[in-house]
Structure 1
Amino acid sequence: MSWPEPAPGVAGADQHRGVLVRGAATEGGPKPEEKPSPRKRRDAKKTARKRAPKPPERKRSYVCSVRLNHDERALLDAAASATRTSLPAFLARSGLAAAHDLDNTAAAVAGHRELVAELFAARRHLGQVGNNLNQVARAINSGGQPTEIDAVVTAVQRAVIRVQAATDHLLEQQ
């Protein structure tokens, strides 16, 4: 079966969506209109390496999957970039450091965290009481006689004792 010839003057060049369709110069060969690709060959060897590969006995071959929420991921990414390591390397190093220091258990870490929180709260309280003491001093300097001077001095002494106790306890743990 043969295809009918188009009517004279009706059919034009073969087009696909308005673009002229051109066949290859040879089957499977290069097209004369195209320039060779500037990409490098995949099998070309790299000329320089940043560092020597790890010996086989030190190479890490096990994969451990960790699930994190968005906040945890952001915090760990920031810590890893601060130490100039990748996130997996940071997690491996910090996990190994915790495993080597078995005295630093989860309860000890939680207690340490609570102690630091108490130290910051005591410091904040001392700042607030110190502000009250400054107001009393300003009133005295302007010729006034504030009635709450004894209460403010007592509160400052308690705040100083609180900060000192938290600091001493923190230093004893280290």
Structure 2
Amino acid sequence: MTTAARASGMTLAGFLAQAAVEASRDAESAEGRIVGDRELITEFFAVRRNLRQVGNNLNQIAKAINSGSEAPPQTDTVLVAVESAVRRIDAIVDMVLRS
């Protein structure tokens, strides 16, 4: 819960209060929303980890190119990974906008 609260920019107490208010508004669907939110947050964290890894690789490639070297052989693989991460983020944002 602490991680989810921090990710949403709220204190833990505020996050729990918000969850309680949301649950009280529609008790029948509250469980589904909470599970869906948890899955969404988990996916955001997975994409963030992936982007950090890819970002490190992208920085190394940029450093090599800026120093006058040719693009390393893994450049295409890293660019494909960036594109994949962007598609995942787009899909998550679409899910949020639909809910």
Same fold by TM-score greater than 0.5: yes
Of 25, 29, 36, the residue aligned with 1:100 is 25
Of 36, 42, 47, the residue aligned with 1:111 is 36
Of 85, 96, 99, the residue aligned with 1:170 is 96
Q: Do 2:40 and 2:92's aligned partners in 1 also have CA atoms closer than 8 Å?
A: yes
CA distance in 2: counterparts of 1:99 and 1:110, whole angstroms: 16
Identity %: 46
CA distance in 2: counterparts of 1:108 and 1:129, whole angstroms: 31
Q: Give per-residue Cα distances to partners, 1:43-90, cap 9 Å, x unaligned.
A: xxxxxxxxxxxxxxxxxxxxxxxxxxxxxxxxxxx62xx6xxxxxxx7
Pairing 1:133-144 to 2, within 5 Å after superposition:
133-144=58-69
Question: Cα distance 1:151–1:101, how it changes in 2: closer, same or farther (>3 A)?
Answer: same
Q: With the length of structure 1 as denominator, give the TM-score of the two structures.
A: 0.42
Of 46, 53, 56, the residue aligned with 1:128 is 53
CA distance in 1: counterparts of 2:51 and 2:78, whole angstroms: 11
Larger radius of gyration: 1
- Asked if residue 151 in structure 1 is aligned to residue 81 in structure 2, the reply is no
CA distance in 2: counterparts of 1:148 and 1:100, whole angstroms: 51
Once the two structures are TM-superposed, the CA of residue 143 in structure 1 deviates from its matched residue by 1.6
Question: Cα distance 1:158–1:97, how it changes in 2: closer, same or farther (>3 A)?
Answer: closer
Question: Cα distance 1:112–1:126, how it changes in 2: closer, same or farther (>3 A)?
Answer: same
Question: Which structure is higher in RCO with an 8 Å CA cutoff and minimum separation 6?
Answer: 2
The RMSD of aligned alpha carbons is: 2.2
Q: Write out the 4+ residue segments of structure 1 that deviate beyond 3 Å after TM superposition.
A: none
Which residue pairs with 1:58 in the alignment?
none
Once the two structures are TM-superposed, the CA of residue 116 in structure 1 deviates from its matched residue by 1.5
Larger helix proportion of the pair: 2
Alignment coverage as a number of residue pairs: 83
CA distance in 2: counterparts of 1:97 and 1:132, whole angstroms: 41
Once the two structures are TM-superposed, the CA of residue 107 in structure 1 deviates from its matched residue by 2.2
Structure 2 unaligned blocks of 5 or more: 1-11
Q: With the length of structure 2 as denominator, give the TM-score of the two structures.
A: 0.69
Q: Do 1:123 and 1:163's aligned partners in 2 also have CA atoms closer than 8 Å?
A: no
